[in-house]
């Protein structure tokens, strides 16, 4: 395996050359070898949505250039659309309380992927992708985004299907009378019926 040398406040660290993550992600991988449970894909997608929204807000506030905004947005869109990029988010769910490592993992991947898309090194994980953000805010926000998406994309459709199933069963069983049950004894007969 080939490596590249990345630098952070703790010094140099070797990172696999074929990965978009950087020093912070690599340090987390080396320091938190305690489980096989990875950060859920729904959280990573929520982080990508959040980082794109932050880039748009920072651009609108005059904090980043249009080139940086576009690079971040395109990188986030690619993360949302390309399941093969899931390997770039290898961290365990077990980490510091604020989710700093996952936040930094996303920042590094977005920055390096965005730089590749832009064809030049214009993004820094902290200074640009994480601009105006804190792990204490981003991780709870990502959880809320993931919850809303799950509710809208999974729970509501499942509830609609359940309601339709009950309606179908009411029609199929209309007029059938059966014994009710109370404390394991026969009780008042009940009938299935269709509500108007």
Looking up residue 59, the CATH number of its domain turns out to be: 1.10.275.10
**Minimal CA–CA distance to 102: which of 193, 34, 32?**
32
Question: Does residue 27 sit within a domain?
Answer: no
Does residue 22 sit in helix, strand or coil?
A: coil
Structural domain tally of the chain? 1
pLDDT single digits (tens) 44-78: 999 999 999 999 999 999 999 999 999 999 999 99
For the four alpha carbons of 115, 121, 124 and 130, in that order, the dihedral sign comes to negative
Q: Quick check: 167 pLDDT over 80? A: yes
Tell me which of 3-17, 109-123, 179-193 is least confident.
Answer: 179-193
Cβ neighbors of 193 (< 8 A, separation 6 or more) are 170, 174, 175
Confidence band for 193, pLDDT divided at 50, 70 and 90:
low
What is the distance, to the nearest Å, from the Cα of residue 168 to the centroid of all Cα atoms in its chain?
A: 36
Question: Does residue 129 sit within a domain?
Answer: yes
Q: Which residues form the domain of 141?
A: 38-152
For residue 40, give the DSSP letter.
P
Rg (CA), the chain: 25
Number of neighbours of residue 169 by Cβ within 10 angstroms: 11
Q: What is the pTM of this model?
A: 0.85
Q: Are 174 and 138 in contact (CB under 8 A)?
A: no
d(CA 116, CA 113): 5
Question: Does residue 113 sit within a domain?
Answer: yes
**Minimal CA–CA distance to 91: which of 178, 24, 143, 163?**
24
Question: Does residue 11 sit within a domain?
Answer: no
Question: Does residue 164 sit within a domain?
Answer: no
* The two three-digit tokens of residue 13, written as one number: 């660290």
Question: Does residue 127 sit within a domain?
Answer: yes
Question: Does residue 194 sit within a domain?
Answer: no
The DSSP annotation for 162-179 comes to HHHHHHHHHHHTTT-EEE
Question: Does residue 92 sit within a domain?
Answer: yes
d(CA 110, CA 117): 10
pLDDT single digits (tens) 141-159: 999 999 999 999 999 999 9
């Amino acid at each position: 395996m080939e490596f590249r040398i990345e630098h952070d406040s703790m010094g140099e660290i070797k990172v696999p050359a074929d990965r978009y993550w950087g020093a912070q992600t690599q340090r987390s991988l080396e320091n938190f070898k305690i489980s096989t449970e990875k950060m859920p894909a729904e959280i990573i997608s929520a982080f990508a949505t959040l980082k794109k929204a932050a880039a748009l807000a920072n651009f609108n506030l005059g904090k980043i250039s249009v080139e940086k905004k576009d690079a971040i947005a395109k990188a986030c869109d690619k993360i949302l659309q390309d399941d093969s990029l899931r390997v770039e988010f290898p961290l365990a769910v077990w980490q510091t309380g604020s989710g700093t490592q996952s936040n930094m993992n996303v920042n590094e991947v977005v920055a390096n992927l965005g730089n590749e898309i832009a064809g030049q090194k214009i993004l820094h994980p902290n200074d640009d992708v994480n601009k105006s953000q804190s792990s204490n805010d981003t991780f709870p926000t990502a959880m809320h985004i993931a919850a809303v998406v799950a509710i809208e994309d999974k729970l509501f459709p499942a509830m609609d299907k359940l309601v339709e199933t009950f309606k179908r069963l009411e029609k199929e069983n209309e007029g059938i009378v059966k014994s009710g049950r109370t404390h394991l004894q026969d009780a008042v007969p009940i009938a299935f019926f269709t509500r108007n």
